[in-house]
Structure 1
Amino acid sequence: MLSTNIELVGKTLGMKPIEGKTQGTIVQGDKLLWAGWKFGFPQMHESLITRYERPVFFQDTMGRGRFKRFQHDHHLFYMDGRTVLNDKIRFTLPLSWAGRIVARAILVPYISRVLRRRMKLLKKIAESQEWRKYLPEETRAD
């Protein structure tokens, strides 16, 4: 699954894995600490792979970071000859009502743009021969 490749995730997040699993593809139980700059501030976000049902689903949950809570579900299914990736993100920010305002005004549009950019990149790679450099030989049957 291309969507589990750490390098591709980093390209769309604009962050780099600095601790835990830092390359290859993720699986159940992996932990990654991402670092980068967002909105002019240094960011750290720890992703824990809390569910993994290859090849149809995986979930990452924040272990530590700026969010109060962050969970991202990745559902994959095959429809009309195409693979469809449906992401669902649930998050809350600290600071009660102020956090909700910031989430609606800034983070929801930002996260939406990042996800669209990610989907375009995955589609471009999947529809070319480039996918071969991101997936290990043993995972290519799915």
Structure 2
Amino acid sequence: MPIIELKTYINAPIETVFNLSRSVALHTYSTIKTNEEAVDGVTEGLLKEGDTVTWRAKHFGVYQYLTVAITAYDFPCFFQDSMLKGIFKQMEHQHFFTKVGEAVCMHDIFEYKAPLGILGTVADVLFLKRYMYNFLKERNRIIKQVAENDEASLQFLNK
């Protein structure tokens, strides 16, 4: 199963980074290129353990739906979302938050299994893993940008 790992260092309080990472509004803002929006389950506020959300987004020219649940939660150090329904055969995203001096290390571990058997495996090698890496990297860039701006952080944490 392919694994994507990213570490992003953010100069903000750990609670702020953790909360922004589970903000529905910030997720929607950070995925504007794919027109992502929460359409079912928890559609606003901050996700917590046991919550589910269904995202609708346009990837590769096709609207797709992904339903995830927050399956593990330890404020402000860790949470995990796991796919319940969607295009992947399997998907799990672990989010770790660790203080490193005055900064926070946001460590993502994203594991997935492509659909369509051997065709999915080929697609993964050719473009899917790179696409998912860039998608997550952009999301983390936005989280960092917002977290390091107190005014912007408040805007997303109050929605």
Q: TM-score, normalised by structure 1?
A: 0.90
Sequence identity, in percent?
28
| AA partner of residue 80 (structure 1) | G
Q: Displacement of 1:81 after TM fit?
A: 1.4
Q: CA RMSD in A?
A: 1.2
Paired with 2:126 and 2:63, the residues of 1 have a C-alpha distance of 20
Gaps of 5+ in 2: 1-18
> 1:38 maps to which residue?
59
Gaps of 5+ in 1: 137-142
Can you list the C-alpha shifts for 1:85-129, whole angstroms capped at 9, x where unaligned? Answer: 110011102222221111122221111111111121111111112
Which deviates more, 93-102 or 83-92? 93-102
> 2:102 maps to which residue?
81
Paired with 1:43 and 1:87, the residues of 2 have a C-alpha distance of 23
1:20 to 29, 41, 49: 41
The count of residues paired between Structure 1 and Structure 2 equals 136
Q: TM-score, normalised by structure 2?
A: 0.81
Which deviates more, 90-99 or 67-76? 90-99
Q: Which has the higher contact order (CA 8 A, sep 6+)?
A: 2
1:62 to 75, 83, 95: 83
Secondary structure of 1:83 counterpart:
strand
